[in-house]
Amino acid sequence: MLITRYKTIPKVIFVIESFASHILKAALYLTIIYILTSCSQFSSRPGAVNFHNVSARYNAYFMAEQDMLEAEFEMKKAYKEDYNQLLPILLPMDSVLSLPVKPKLQDAIKKSSIVAEKHQNSKWLDNSYIILGKSRLYLGEWADGLEALRYVYANGRDENDKNDALILLMRAYIVRKDYSNALGVAEYLSQQPLDKGSVRDFYLTKAYLHQQNGEYLTSVAILEETFPVLKKSRETARIHFAAAQMYDRLGQYALANKHYRSVRKNRPDYDLGFYSSMNSLQNEVVLNPKKDLSAIGFDRMLRDRKNDDLRDRVYFTMGLLAEHRKQIPEALGYLQKSAAASKGNMQQKAHTYLQLARINYESLENFEVSKAYYDSALAILPKEAPEYALVADRKRALDNFVNEYTVVTTEDSLQQLARMNPAALDNRIDAIIEQKEKQRIEEEEQAKKALMASLNVNPQNVGNPLMSGNERRWELYDPALINQGKIDFKRTWGNRPLEDDWRRSSRPLRTLTSSNGGTSGDSANVAAASVSVDNGLKKGTVEWQQVHDQLKAKIPLTDAQFAESQSKKEDALYNLGKIYRFDLKESQRAITTFERVLADFPKTQYKDEIYYLLYLSYEDENQIRASWKNKLLIEYPNSTYARLVNKVTDAAGNTGNPVKEYEAVYQLYTDGNFTKALEDIERNLPGYKGTMIEDKFALLRVFLIGKVRGKEAYSQAITEFMRLYPASVYLPRLKEMQELNSLSMGKR
């Protein structure tokens, strides 16, 4: 029995072990279930939160942050500073600049989105949304980027993260030039407690806001408070440079130099240090006008081999200083050297051309040369450059200006020649021909010398310029040979304009031809022309007399020709005044030009409009302005311009619905109430300026004037309409009305 009892013990032990095993398995299953349920991204339990914090921080968020940092580093590295322009305090968010790093930014978006999808209870959720929004802003996806940042502000759990999102949101508003919203965000942030890093970013962003809005004094005031919390770095040096530039624009050159010196203390790269030194030297000369330019050290900078690619900037600065001292010829010389020294720096070359254009326009009034420099600047200036639109507008204005100015100077010169007695006129024409022939010979001699220098041969060996040694060279491969070909062509055929059929036998053999179709100066009719014969023109020959007669034929010697010349001059002066007033924004020169039109042409057809433009060109407080208004109202009380100076609108400045108002006035017209309709339309016509039916109102006014004021006023109204609305669809109808009215008045 004892033996039997011992035999049952193993069975009991087996049962106990089996039961314990089931208990352990159940406990393990329960533990696993507990861990899985407690790690849910929607759980607020400490274990779940810690798990998702670690998973988010050291996986998705870490990789997204690294992608963002690498992308920003590459964009900063690729960004090319233009030190002639005001450096932005913060680098712009440019979708073009982000194209090379687009894969990194997209990866940052993908990784930061993982945190939003799988780690909702993580404390890194707000940071991930900030990276997501910033990446989208860099890529130009503004709507999505702004939405992500607004989400952080509305739903964020950490106040510092919410403030960081708002700072970035303010920066995005600035880039989009939405300054009112940016100011609203800045006002809110100024009331919030910010940590040290956020204070720095907020101050820099707010200074950037005022800088971009043109409020330089406020911007530098904020920067002065920010510099103590900035560490020494290239970025800090760059911000000092931006502050110095703003002080320059405010005329505070001593404070500007203080920051230019601070640039060199903050580890700048070579270019930034160089430009800060150049600007500082420039300010020293401005602050001390007696300072000797030769003692500044420009020669040493030019000799330094490290500055080989910056020689254009040295010459540019020397040119600006020479101009500041009213040494215009020296300034032009330095600027031309700067343009010649600009090899790969097209930005600097463009600014040099702009300075040359400005000096030639403002100081020398050499308008054609100024136009040429604007053309050159526009050709190399990037379209995204901030000044591109202004330069393009000025270039277009100068194109029109030069055309009109050439007409004025040409007709002035021709009329001056026409007033000479016949003998003096013939002598003057002969002198013009002789002068141009001498100039042509000198130009050909210079071209020959240049050709020989380029070929590196003696004059005796230039029998066949196409031969180099024993080999024949194709002309289009050698610029020197191309130049020689041009000279040979010019010698044989003259300076021909670019046109078809120039070799027709009906043309004179030798002519003086203008290269641009216009002329200027005392010898206006032969400007930019040249005479080309093998041995030069000889006075007394048939060729000489032929050229003499051609020039004389252009001079207005008869009354009809002189009247035509006067008409051209009147139109050109009138157009010049409008270009000065509206395109070049030079009111004083516009006033001078308009007054010249009135003085030279007392009965000009543009008198009422010129009165109005003179009224506009004077400042509000100037008493002369009122005198031009009175002259307009007295002499032309019924003109459109008289109505414009008496413009009446409602208190809010609105004129209502143009279509409904037209229908109301037209109803008065159809009802036969012509006087009331004319009063209404003349009172409200200025309010329709710029609308699609402006010319329709003006046409109805013409009809009403014919009904109320008689045929003479009707004729004047038709002429006025044709001048003010040359592109109107109603113009053919007005021309028919004018012809009928003329016939009617003739019969009367």
Q: What is the pLDDT of residues 594-645, one digit of tens each?
A: 999 999 999 888 888 888 888 888 887 778 888 888 888 888 887 777 877 7
Q: Is the pLDDT of residue 224 over 70?
A: yes
| CA atoms of 472 and 475, how far apart (whole Å) | 9
Q: What are phi and psi of 570, to 5 degrees?
A: -60, -50
Bridge pairing between strands 467-468 and 471-472? antiparallel
Q: Is the pLDDT of residue 666 over 70?
A: yes
- The per-residue pLDDT for 240 is 93
pLDDT by residue (tens digit) across 477-508? 445 555 556 656 655 565 555 555 545 444 44
Are 394 and 361 contacting, i.e. CB atoms less than 8 angstroms apart?
A: no
Are 223 and 190 contacting, i.e. CB atoms less than 8 angstroms apart?
A: no
Are 378 and 392 contacting, i.e. CB atoms less than 8 angstroms apart?
A: yes
**Closest to 202 measured CA to CA, from 232, 152, 162:** 162
Q: Which residues, in sequence order, are CB contacts of 361 under 8 Å at separation 6+?
A: 367, 370, 398
Structure tokens at 743: 């016939």
Are 74 and 100 contacting, i.e. CB atoms less than 8 angstroms apart?
A: yes
> What sign results for the dihedral spanned by CA atoms 339, 341, 343, 348?
negative
- The per-residue pLDDT for 56 is 57
Number of helices (H), then strands (E), in the chain: 32, 2
| CA atoms of 51 and 40, how far apart (whole Å) | 9
Angle at which helices 422-455 and 479-493 pack, to 10 degrees? 150
Q: Is the pLDDT of residue 466 over 80?
A: no
Q: Is the pLDDT of residue 418 over 70?
A: yes
| CA atoms of 374 and 399, how far apart (whole Å) | 10
Give the three-state DSSP class for 391.
helix
Q: Is the pLDDT of residue 395 over 60?
A: yes
CA-to-CA separations, 279 to 100, 294, 353, 715, in angstroms, rounded = 33, 16, 19, 63
The predicted model gives 13-22 an average pLDDT of 56
Are 547 and 512 contacting, i.e. CB atoms less than 8 angstroms apart?
A: yes
Instruction: Name the band, by pLDDT with cuts 50, 70 and 90, for residue 530.
Output: very low
pLDDT by residue (tens digit) across 123-155? 667 788 888 888 888 888 888 888 888 888 888
| CA atoms of 112 and 130, how far apart (whole Å) | 9
Buried/exposed code over 609-623 (b: 16+ C-beta within 10 A; e: otherwise): bbbbbbbbbbeeeee
CA-to-CA separations, 465 to 161, 451, 486, in angstroms, rounded = 77, 9, 13
Residue ranges, CATH 1.25.40.10, the chain: 658-747
Are 320 and 348 contacting, i.e. CB atoms less than 8 angstroms apart?
A: no
At residue 29's C-alpha, the angle toward residues 24 and 35, to 5°, is 125
Q: What are phi and psi of 121, to 5 degrees?
A: -95, 10
> What sign results for the dihedral spanned by CA atoms 689, 693, 696, 701?
negative
Q: What are phi and psi of 140, to 5 degrees?
A: 85, 10
- The per-residue pLDDT for 702 is 84
**Closest to 125 measured CA to CA, from 163, 168, 162:** 162
10 Å Cβ neighbour count for 56?
27
- The per-residue pLDDT for 703 is 85
Give the three-state DSSP class for 598.
helix
CATH of domain 658-747: 1.25.40.10
pTM value? 0.60
Angle at which helices 270-287 and 234-249 pack, to 10 degrees? 30
| CA atoms of 334 and 355, how far apart (whole Å) | 11
| CA atoms of 150 and 172, how far apart (whole Å) | 12
10 Å Cβ neighbour count for 720?
21
Are 185 and 150 contacting, i.e. CB atoms less than 8 angstroms apart?
A: no
- What is the CA 151 to chain-centroid distance, rounded? 37
Are 82 and 347 contacting, i.e. CB atoms less than 8 angstroms apart?
A: yes
At residue 311's C-alpha, the angle toward residues 382 and 349, to 5°, is 20
In this structure, the chain runs to a length of 748
- What DSSP letter does each residue of 448-482 carry, written as one string? HHHHHHHHT--GGG-S-TTEETTEE--GGG-HHHH
List the alpha helices (DSSP H) in 456-582.
479-493, 542-553, 559-578
More confident of the two residues 56 and 339: 339
- The per-residue pLDDT for 657 is 61
Q: What are phi and psi of 30, to 5 degrees?
A: -65, -40
Amino acid at 438: K
Structure tokens at 318: 């020397």
- The per-residue pLDDT for 675 is 84
- The per-residue pLDDT for 246 is 93
Lowest mean pLDDT among 44-58, 285-299, 415-429, 686-700: 44-58
Structure tokens at 706: 């014919």
